[in-house]
Amino acid sequence: MSFRFNFGVSEDGEDVACSTTPTGISTLDCNGSGTAMCMNEENASDASIASAVAAAPFESISLTIPKVSSIVVDAIFYKGQRLWKRQIDDVQFQLAQQDSMDGSEDSLVKRAMAEDRNASDVIKGVYEGGLKTWECSIDLLSFLVDHQVELGAALHGGRVLEIGCGTGLPSLHVLKSMPDTYVCMQDYNKDVLELVTMPNVLANTILCPSTAGNGDTLHADSDTEACEIDIDFRRTQALFGADTDDVIGKRDVPELTVDEANEADARMLQSSDIRDCCEFVAGDWANIEHELRRQGRENSFDLVLTSETIYDTDSYKSLHDLLVCVLAKPKTEAGSQDQKAPAALIAAKSIYFGLTGSVLIFKQYVNARGVFNVDSVWQSGGSMPREILRLTWK
Ligand SMILES: C[S@@+](CC[C@H](N)C(=O)[O-])C[C@H]1O[C@@H](n2cnc3c(N)ncnc32)[C@H](O)[C@@H]1O
């Protein structure tokens, strides 16, 4: 089943979820004006794809530097802070250059992005929308900044899990602003982790434009900034250090062999402790829960973050089961009022038009399960309200 979220590019070039042009079986409009539609031929194929594919298996994926010469990132500004996020056009450019399709589930995600910018944004059970940034993740970012002091104290040396991370902005903020914190990023799709989540982690850490000697081009574009991070230049630096300018001078362009590039990537990753600070896991929530239990990692996350993941009631059981599995138990008896108590923060639109999930239905589900307290800790107001829920152990 396919749903179109339509993340039209805004005038400033952002691909944050914004409006909808309905074409799917059901339509989810991020601004709420969508209408449920009838299935048409275009998405009949999506439906058969979804029914043919088993829920994504658990995969643990090592942080790697993308095998491209450069990546283009946009600056995301929030509360006086800035994060770098890979442009969706740049992802499509990379995909367009990759000509081999192996017919696996992952290549369906790649094909959807490579062939058609307006491809359905969610293909249920195949691709769950993680390549693009959804607006509630920005709410979660702001909430993290506003509560940085309490969260920082609660988290000191702790562990954070972002469920359904997609572009992973909340995780990036934690990695940047709470350096002693370990962050696990989960997405349904391995492709999403490799194409956007990892590049974003790298762009905000070891490949951060502000750390470039030179080679990265920055340009201001109204109130946004875009930047091309020249990874090949960084690779050359990693291989040749102080002799970089010399090497580049001798070769017209700093073209590296595959072996040189691999060696450079290994050196860049080894030169920082980034791989000790974060991990990446792909798969369906039910499979993630099963694997984390198998690994004996129950109740090991002090803070769980998730944004725009409660739009489908079919997933509530597996999402709730995962929260029960991963959230750490409180160390004191102070209960949910204690700001240091382990908590899950869930950012979502109050209503998802044309889809089954909503904040109210999710709260009712959590209450019916009777495991967690659920409080609304932030509301946007306006005609299409968004909220942040806080779940704590009863
Ligand atoms: C609409 S995207 C939101 C991405 C990101 N959190 C944001 O706000 O920009 C929904 C995310 O939830 C995750 N997701 C949805 N259903 C899932 C499921 N059943 N199992 C695992 N992940 C799922 C996907 O990884 C996807 O990235």
| Distance from residue 129's CA to the centre of ligand 1 (Å) | 6
Least confident of 22-26, 268-272, 374-378: 22-26
The pLDDT of residue 317 is: 98
| Distance from residue 186's CA to the centre of ligand 1 (Å) | 9
Edge-to-edge strand list for the sheet holding 372-379: 59-61, 278-282, 182-187, 159-163, 303-307, 343-349, 386-393, 372-379
Is the Cβ–Cβ distance between 152 and 76 less than 8 Å? no
| Tens digit of each residue's pLDDT (9 = 90 or more) over 58-97 | 999 999 999 999 999 999 999 999 999 999 889 988 887 7
Strands 2-4 and 26-27: parallel
* The token pair that represents 94 in the structure block: 């990379």
Once rounded to an integer, what is the mean pLDDT over residues 101-123? 59
| Tens digit of each residue's pLDDT (9 = 90 or more) over 19-57 | 332 222 222 333 333 322 222 334 434 444 444 457 899
* The token pair that represents 259 in the structure block: 């072996």
Collect contacts of 233-238 with beta carbons under 8 A, ≥24 apart: 234/207, 234/264, 234/268, 235/260, 235/261, 235/264, 235/265, 235/268, 236/264, 237/213, 238/264, 238/265, 238/267, 238/268, 238/271
282-299 burial: b if 16+ Cβ within 10 Å, else e: bbbbbbbbbbbeeeeeee
Closest ligand 1 atom, residue 347 Cα: 8
Is the Cβ–Cβ distance between 379 and 368 less than 8 Å? no
Please provide the average confidence, as pLDDT, over all residues in the chain: 81
Greatest mean pLDDT among 219-228, 234-243, 318-327 = 318-327
| Distance from residue 36's CA to the centre of ligand 1 (Å) | 21
The pLDDT of residue 3 is: 47
244-264 burial: b if 16+ Cβ within 10 Å, else e: beeebeeeeebebeeebbeeb
User: Which protein residue has the closest C-alpha to ligand 1 atom 14?
Assistant: 164
User: Which protein residue has the closest C-alpha to ligand 1 atom 7?
Assistant: 134
User: How many Å apart are CA 344 and CA 323, to the nearest integer?
Assistant: 8
157 confidence band (pLDDT: 50, 70, 90): confident
The CATH class of 2-205+272-393 is: alpha beta
Once rounded to an integer, what is the mean pLDDT over residues 277-296? 97
Instruction: Reply yes or no on whether the pLDDT at 106 is more than 60.
Output: no
Q: Counting runs of H as helices and runs of E as strands, what totals does the chain give? A: 15, 15
Q: CB-based burial of residue 347 (10 Å sphere; 0-12 exposed, 13-18 middle, 19+ buried)?
A: buried
Length of the chain counted residue by residue = 394
Closest ligand 1 atom, residue 312 Cα: 16
User: How many Å apart are CA 334 and CA 64, to the nearest integer?
Assistant: 42
The pLDDT of residue 29 is: 34
Instruction: Reply yes or no on whether the pLDDT at 149 is more than 60.
Output: yes
User: How many Å apart are CA 67 and CA 44, to the nearest integer?
Assistant: 34
Q: Which residues does a 6 A CB cutoff place in the pocket of ligand 1?
A: 128-130, 133-134, 136-137, 164-167, 187-188, 284-285, 307-309, 315, 318
User: Which protein residue has the closest C-alpha to ligand 1 atom 20?
Assistant: 284
The pLDDT of residue 45 is: 45
Question: What's the predicted TM-score (pTM) here?
Answer: 0.86
Helix (H) or strand (E) holding 196: none
The pLDDT of residue 359 is: 98
| Distance from residue 332's CA to the centre of ligand 1 (Å) | 32
| Distance from residue 281's CA to the centre of ligand 1 (Å) | 12
Domain boundaries, the chain: 2-205+272-393
* The token pair that represents 349 in the structure block: 């639109």
390 vs 220 pLDDT, higher one: 390
Is the Cβ–Cβ distance between 283 and 184 less than 8 Å? no
The pLDDT of residue 268 is: 96
| Distance from residue 17's CA to the centre of ligand 1 (Å) | 13
Q: Using the Cα atoms of residue 376, residue 159, residue 267 and residue 211 in order, give the sign of their dihedral.
A: positive
**Measuring CA to CA, how many Å separate 46 from each of 28, 121, 124, 346, 356?**
16, 11, 8, 28, 19
User: How many Å apart are CA 109 and CA 128, to the nearest integer?
Assistant: 9
The pLDDT of residue 125 is: 81
The single residue listed with the structure tokens 């850490």 is: 205
Instruction: Reply yes or no on whether the pLDDT at 116 is more than 80.
Output: no
